[in-house]
Amino acid sequence: MLAPISEQTLHMQPLALHHVSINVTDVDLAVTFYTEVLGGTLRTDRPDFGFGGAWINLGTSQVHLLEAPVPPSFGQHFAIGVAHLDGAVAELRNRGIAVGDPTRVGQGRQTFVADPAGNTVELYGE
């Protein structure tokens, strides 16, 4: 059981999600997907960790691609907020990318797309 936190010592105050890391089998293919398809920007400041990977800006957050076996999907995913969900879906479909129909959830709508390694990415917006 966790000990209660005193208001005077509360330093853990999340500001935003900084990044998520996902495993991909082909870094170059994943970089192309996350930049050319999902509109991200490749960062050039990733250190050499001794294994393949890339860092991509997606809005104010990042996705870190790690060259490693992709674990089985049990529903894990991350969501990208988009300004115009219907337009994003139409754009992806025009490029031949399979994407579901948006459905209402919470205060917005969502749909899902898979990256080339099979990772699930949620697109969320209005």
pLDDT tens, position by position, 40-68: 999 999 999 999 999 999 999 999 999 99
Residues 80, 95: Cα–Cα separation, whole Å? 19
Residues 86, 109: Cα–Cα separation, whole Å? 10
pLDDT for res 58: 97
Give pTM, 2 decimals: 0.90
Which superfamily, per CATH, for 18-69+76-125? 2,3-Dihydroxybiphenyl 1,2-Dioxygenase, domain 1 (3.10.180.10)
For the chain, give every domain's residue range: 18-69+76-125
> Are 84 and 125 contacting, i.e. CB atoms less than 8 angstroms apart?
yes
Cβ partners under 8 Å of residue 71, min gap 6: 23
> Are 111 and 121 contacting, i.e. CB atoms less than 8 angstroms apart?
no
Residue 1: pLDDT over 80: no
